[in-house]
Structures are given as structure tokens and as C-alpha cells.
Structure 1
């Protein structure tokens, strides 16, 4: 049976870091998306993909 993730079992400082990360990741992803549209390099596309996956993972509590 799969163990469910419970964010309340984390230490308080790690919960605060996670909450700050959730607030920062969306504007950072939007900025990177705009930057990728104007200056598309392979690194920018990979970074944008990584940020999108991380934003979705944080939003749905997968991490």
C-alpha cells in the first residue's frame, strides 16, 4: 500500500521553505516562459519544462 504524503509531519522550517517556494514558482515560471518566447535556447526550454513540472508538483502536493 502506498504511503500518503502528509506535509504536517515536516519540521516547521521546512514547511515554511515549501510555502515560500509555492509562492515564488508561479511568477518565476511565467517570467521564464516570456523569456523563452523572445530568446529561445535549448537551456531555456529545458528550464521552463522543469519549472512547469515543479509548479504542478508543488500545487498538487506531490513533493
Structure 2
């Protein structure tokens, strides 16, 4: 169990919904500064809550089947 709080959970939800959203957008939504949001995301990565970021692609548009 981690020490993730409600804001951490909200940030994770925002990342899941749209990983391209800017830190500034996320900060405005959760009510923190951009720097605080960056620190939280970095901490969540460091403690293994966020394990990576992925890209979803369309293989047919790439000619891969």
C-alpha cells in the first residue's frame, strides 16, 4: 500500500483519461501548481505506482496487418 492521497488518485485518473493533457491543465483541475503536479507524478513513478506510459496505435494504418 502506498501513501497516495486523493489528489494522487485524481492525477492518475486524469492521466488515464488523456495522457496528452498538459501539466498546466492537470494543475488547474486538481487545484495545485504546475510544479506540485510534476513532483507528484514523478513521485508516483519513483514509488512504482505509475509504471510507464504507452502509445495505442492502429497497426492497419501502419501497414502491419
Which structure is higher in RCO with an 8 Å CA cutoff and minimum separation 6?
A: 1
Normalised by the length of structure 2, the TM-score is 0.33
- TM-score normalised over the length of structure 1: 0.33
More helix by share: 1
